[in-house]
Structures are given as structure tokens and as C-alpha cells.
Amino acid sequence: MPRYAGSTTRALACMIGLCLAHAGSAQPIQLMTGGDGKLIYLPAILADQLGYFRREGLEVRLLSAPAGIDTSTELIAGAIVGALGFYDHTIELQSHGMDVQSVVVLNESAGLVELGRRDSGMQSMADARGRRLAVTGFGSSTFYLTRFLAAREGVAADAYTLVPVATGAAFEKAITERSVDAGMVEEPTATLMMSRLPVQPLVDMRSVADTRTQLGGPYAGACLYLRREWIDAHHDETTRLVRAMVDALHFIQSHSAREIAAVVPASLKGGEASIYLQALAMTRPTYSATGKMPAGAPSTVLSVLAHVDPDVSARHVDIARTYTDRFVDAAPGAASRNAAADSL
């Protein structure tokens, strides 16, 4: 044996030990949704449940907050690595000097519906004057979209009252107690409320076509967005995160609503499996097939925000910095990996 073989072996052992120590001390990647039971965030749930994050060598912890605005706050504070929320947050945050970027788009619709109490007399957002309208929170996507829809009907922002209710359960309680006249909510809460309460849709943005009609063009709903400084420092981890999410999107495209629902934990179905399945079947066509930003969607979202927020305009926002498709483009073969996994 050469006399330097022992030192080489010891050096290799030290290197392996250092790598193992580093791997053991690595912090889990924390991602936060604006409500883990909301169908707009389903791809993240599937990526976790189906083991796609683990297959990429990532330890991901999914956290949940009542509203998307809460995820933005946690992201900027550095408490989480990534936020699962509406793409419009990336634009709004950049207008205030905070550099975040969407790396994969989950939905091509807003996935929201404005529900009004039938006994309130409201037939559309033109009837919003003097009303109390529920939103998930001040500064949330529902906040800005409610403002936009009312303004489009000529109703000034000071002509109605916005009431933050945070969760679907709180909105349902507010409708039942008649403390609000209407409010904006996502699936599966919307289908659940329409099945058992005297409410009716005033504005429906759950489908891709209806979202385009209501908001004026292609749209991007929920996405995964990260701080740009984290992306730049963790290019490999970002690539693997996005690949796992794209795998989940392909799973949705290649499986029925019933097969998809079977993967979702019962605790996220709200105790109403049939309602959840109905809502999922309605929502399934709105999920992105690729994870890419839909052409024209950033301009539509910017136009909606600029219409109601004086701090947001094309002069204040470099729209090209609010999203990137480069990580989605670096995730080829996801569909074939899913097919191979399903055949096992």
C-alpha cells in the first residue's frame, strides 16, 4: 500500500463527516400557505403528500396562516423561506421596495367568488354602497379585488365598509349572523356555503374564462414566491422546489378529482368529503399545466392593482422582476417521472 494511502483515507473520511454534519444541521425549508385547506394551494399539499419534496432531497415543512397577506409578512420578516400566495403580492411588495419573485404559478384563475346574502338585496357589486363586505384581511388579494370590482361599478372606496374575517369559517359565521352583506371567498368554502346557506354569487372568478372576463385578461392566481436574495443564494434548492411543484401540477392534470382527493388528508377536507370533491372537480381545470406565468397575466394583475392602489403603477414596478420561468424551464421530465412513480 502506498505510504500516502492512509492520509488520503483519513482526508476522505473527514470530508464525508463534514458533509454528513452539514446535511444533519441543514434547516428545513419552511413554506407557508394562506390556508392549507384552500384548493388554490392544493399543489403544495400534493407535493408534500406524494413525497415529491423528499424525492428532490428536500425537507419541507408546510405551515398555514389564515390569509395570504400573513404569508407575505412572514416572508419579508425572514421567518419562512417561501410564500404560497397570490401573484399580486409580488407586485405590491415590489412597489414598497421589497424584492420577491414568483418561481412557479399554480392557478390561472383567481379562484374566488363574491357571495352575497340573498336577503341583503345585493345583485351585483353596483349595490355595494352602504354595505359591509368581508375580505380575508386588509392588504390581502381579496381586499384589492373587492376594491377593484366595486370601483369598476362606480362605487367609491369610502361608500362601503370592508370587514376582515381571515378564515372561511369566520366568513360563514358573519353571513349567518348577518354582520356582513357579502364577501369574497375561495373553494371549497364557496361550494360549502352555497350548499347550506342562503347566499348567491355576485361575481364569479373561479374559472379561467370568468376570471378573464371580470379582470380584463389572462391572470395568475396562487404561486410560490421567494425573496430574490434567497433565490440567488440557493439556486439548486429553488430548482428542486419548483420541480416538485411542477410534478404536483402534472399529477393534477393526469388524475381524476376523486384520485386527487384520495391523496389529501381528511383534516383538510373540512369534514365534508362530497363537497370537497365537488369543489375540486370544478377547480381542477384552473390549475396550470406547466407552472409557467401565463402570457399577459402580469400586465392584467398590475392593471387591477394600479386601479385601486396609488402606490402601484408601471413607473414603480419592474414587472419582469416579479416572476421568472427559468426554474420551471429547468424541470423537464416531470411528467415522465410521475408516470414511472404511478406504475410502481
Q: Are the C-beta atoms of residues 172 and 275 closer than 8 Å to each other?
A: no
Q: Which residues, 6+ apart, have CB-to-CB distance to 7 below 8 Å?
A: none
Q: Is the full-model pTM beyond 0.85? A: yes
Q: What is the 3-state secondary structure (H, E, C) of 53-99?
A: HHHCCCCEEEEECCCHHHHHHHHHHCCCCEEEEECHHHHHHHHCCCC
Q: Where are the alpha helices (DSSP H) in 126-285?
A: 141-152, 168-176, 189-196, 208-215, 228-233, 235-254, 257-261, 273-283
Which residues make Cβ contacts (< 8 Å) with residue 88, sequence separation at least 6? 141, 144, 301, 304, 305
Residue 162 pLDDT greater than 50, yes or no: yes
How much of the chain, in percent, has pLDDT values that exceed 90? 76
In this prediction, residue 72 has a pLDDT band, given cuts at 50, 70 and 90, of confident
Q: What is the predicted pLDDT for the residue at 166?
A: 80
Please report where in the chains the cell 355595494 appears, as a residue.
128
Location of C-alpha cell 368554502: 189
Reply yes or no: is the peptide bond before residue 188 cis, omega within 30 of 0. Answer: yes
Sketch the domain layout of the chain as residue ranges: 27-109+219-268+288-342, 112-205
Q: For the chain, what is the mean pLDDT?
A: 88
Return the pLDDT at 332. Answer: 66
Residue 8 reports pLDDT greater than 70: no
CATH class given for the domain over 112-205: alpha beta
Domain at 27-109+219-268+288-342, CATH homologous superfamily: Periplasmic binding protein-like II (3.40.190.10)
Q: What is the pLDDT of residues 257-308, one digit of tens each?
A: 999 999 999 999 987 899 999 999 999 999 999 999 999 999 999 999 999 9
What are the CA-CA distances from residue 239 to residues 42, 184, 325, 330 (Å)? 20, 34, 11, 7
Q: Which helix (H) or strand (E) holds 19?
A: helix 5-25
CA distances (Å), origin 103, targets 3, 215, 256, 333: 52, 23, 26, 18
* Mean pLDDT score, 98-120: 97
d(CA 90, CA 102) in angstroms, rounded, equals 7
Q: Quickly state the pLDDT bin for 19 (edges 50, 70, 90).
A: very low
Is residue 137 within 8 A of residue 70, CB to CB? The reply is yes
Measured from the Cβ of residue 278, the count of other Cβ atoms closer than 10 Å reads 17
CA distance 55 to 153: 49
Q: In Å, how far are 55, 165, 172, 188, 232 from 36, measured between CA atoms?
A: 22, 16, 18, 11, 27
Instruction: Tell me if 27-109+219-268+288-342 shares its fold with 112-205.
Output: yes
Mean pLDDT for 230-244 is 97
8 Å CB contact between 220 and 295: no
What gap in Å lies between CA 13 and CA 8, rounded to an integer? 9
Residues 6+ apart with CB under 8 A from 93: 72, 76, 99, 100
Cell of 156: 367609491
* pLDDT at position 146 over 70: yes
